[in-house]
A and B are shown apart, each in its own frame.
Chain A
Amino acid sequence: MSAVNWATLLFGLTAAIYTMAAICHVIAVFRRDWEGLARWSTRLSWVLQTVGLLLLIGQTGRFPIYSLFEAAYGFSWLLTGNYLAIEFFGNNQASGAALIPMMALLVILSVALPKPVPTHEVLLLDTLPASLVVWHVGVTLLGYALFVAAAASSMLYLLQEGQLRRKRFWPLYHRLPALEWLDLLAGRFIAIGLPVLTVGLGAGVIFATLTWNGPWYTDPKVLFTALSWLLYMGLLLSRLLLGLQGRRAAWWAITGAAGILVNYFVVNLFFSALHRFGA
């Protein structure tokens, strides 16, 4: 079998184990004895993903942010890695219930996406201010990572709040931190994520003005990104000025993260002609 087939098999396996980890994490919300399986399947999927990522870098010989697949794959690797560190050192896997299903979705989508373009096709980038693109993609993804973390924190908030309100407690309840803290955490992630996203988008704007002719700002993906930015700006301002918090803030943050995913996968693939990875 050729190396590519091996890689395809590995990516498929990673996605499968991720799915299993996500299912285990969701069941562990209700049944404590699934926690061990959730923990170990997550670790296994991350190890597989690490191998896959190394293979990818070996094959393409570049930092994996040039294609949509690469970026989504690397992005989820980063987030799951951070989660595993929290789970291991903090001895708390509560956040996995929210985060791992999202990561599984990301990995499945990324594996289903078109595979990386060989390096020579993106050579165009080398003649242009390529480092600007790296900055644009890298920093924007970091911003997205913070927003996903905010959404995970918000989901845990809703889980906990719902149980306190219904007065029925699932095993996960005992491991969840206080509502105020989850709310604060989500707020902080967004407060840090927004400036980061702004810097990332700024790099993109500069790049586009320098290299793309025509009205690049009417591209659906660019418009949708601007919309997400406004959504998070609105959330941050409401939190700071109007004292918005709790359930409504949590739903807002989750909506934002869902929007990012839609933008990333749906808009990017089907609507945007200009702004595409590797294009």
Chain B
Amino acid sequence: MYLQMVGLNHKTAPVAVREKAAVSMEALPAALDLLRSDKALSEIVLLSTCNRTELYAILAESPAELDGGRHLLVEQLARLTGMPNGELDPHIYTHAGPECVTHLFRVACGLDSMVLGETQILGQVRDAYLAASTRGAVGKLLHQLMGQALAVGKRAQTETQVGQSAVSVSYMAVELAKKVYQSLAGRRALCIGAGETAELTVRHLQAAGVTDFVVCNRTLARAEELAAKVGGVAVPLEQMTRALQDVDVVVSSTASPSYMLTREHVAEAFRARRGRLMFLFDLAVPRDIDPEVAKLDGVFLYDLDDLQAAVAHNLQERAREARKVEKIVAEEAGKFLQWQEAQLVVPTIRMLREKMDAIRHDELARTLSRLPDLTERERQIIEAMTVTMLNKMLNDPTQRLKLLAGQAESRAAIRTIHDLFALGGSEPGEAKAR
């Protein structure tokens, strides 16, 4: 019973190494079976995403040397991925015991991710856990650990805002638009230019509920192409001003050297809208929309710099929220370690009680055989007395051991009890994660 993990991620390994070390969802069952064929590992979970490959394991025996666990697991990983040990090793990090718990919880919360606080990782942890569980690779300890990791990730998402604000320019546009319009469902958007940036932003708007798209481009064929992709209509450039009246969101990203939309264009369209608010995003460099437009009351204009500044602001917000998440992680890791300690105390209590009960049983039988004249009722009274005596004598040590669970002295106490009462079997104090 020794908990350890090894892994590599976007911080320790370049993409060339990461892609070789990755195990696809399809290959995962076979990989788990392969790992389980080694009797040194009693429980395993393999987490593999595009940014990390991590192997969590319960070693059957505590490693003799300091690096023993690491060597063992890296070997397994090398065997699994077919990468030479030497190629893998420089990128590997390892955590054992409490640090391993904390690391997994941080991963589940997105604190270890490339984009701080991203929430996709939690689903990936869940998938890894389920896959391992289905292959029978997960025992009591990892069940508890992974189950709690999922709960921690969920807590981080509901109790903090670490993953809530937009951290990409195109998603930022959606987030800002939502600050003006309660919902984007059923809104209309105008897309000026049909390039890649335009398409990405349109996709985000579409996911947020925008249904009607008007695409406007210098070459109509390109506009029609994008319009077909997103289910919108293409209009020639000459009709752009007309189209402007009916849309709530404008995304502009042409290569035009001069302004596509002037203050007069927008002012005219805005008047026709009878005061309904408009949000314009200028993703082009050089800019497509005259900055003067922003001076119109009820019109919001954000250019690429503004969006990037807002993204930087959101990243700072996430970092601030991440501090709250770290607290949650520390708290939950403490809970897990306490649970783990309690698991150590329980067998000791059980062994102690079994031994005492066996003695009681033997002595009772011997005594009763020397007193053949007792009535059934008298025999019962004597037996009840032995049970009560045993319970009362064991009550204090049992309670105190339970109280010690999770504290530093518990291991010493467990060892002492094993020594004093000559309890046989494997000594749990040795078996716990260091």
Chain A residues in the interface with B (C-beta under 8 A):
160, 164-165, 167, 169, 173-174, 176-181, 243-248
Contact = CB atoms under 8 A, between A and B. Distances in A.
A67 B374 CA distance: 91
Nearest to A243: B274
B74 to A, nearest CB: 44
Given A174-B165, A179-B277, A167 B180 contact: no
Contacts of B298: 246-247
Contacts of B210: none
B294 A246 contact: no
Contacts of A178: 178-183
A276 B313 CA distance: 53
Contact of B277 (A167, A177, A246): A246
B310 A247 contact: no
Contacts of B302: 167
Given A243-B275, A244-B275, A167 B182 contact: no
Interface string B172-186: 000010111111000
Interface residues of B, number: 23
Given A164-B176, A167-B306, A246 B275 contact: yes
B339 interface: no
Contacts, number: 47
Nearest to A246: B298
Contacts of B33: none
Q: Which of B180, B181, B310, B313 has the most CB of A within 10 A?
A: B180
A245 B309 CA distance: 29
6 contacts: A160-B179, A164-B179, A167-B310, A178-B180, A178-B182, A246-B277
B274 A177 contact: no
Given A167-B302, A173-B179, A178-B178, 15 more contacts: A164-B176, A165-B294, A167-B306, A167-B309, A178-B179, A179-B181, A180-B180, A180-B182, A180-B277, A181-B182, A243-B274, A243-B275, A243-B276, A245-B275, A246-B298
Contacts of B275: 243-246
Contacts of B309: 167
B274 A165 contact: no
A179 B180 contact: yes
Nearest to A249: B275
B182 A177 contact: yes
Nearest to B320: A32
A167 B310 CA distance: 8
Q: Which of B182, B274, B306 has the most CB of A within 10 A?
A: B182
Contacts of A174: 161, 165, 317
A167 B294 CA distance: 11
A275 to B, nearest CB: 38
Interface string B285-298: 00000000010011
Contacts of B306: 167
A36 B365 CA distance: 67
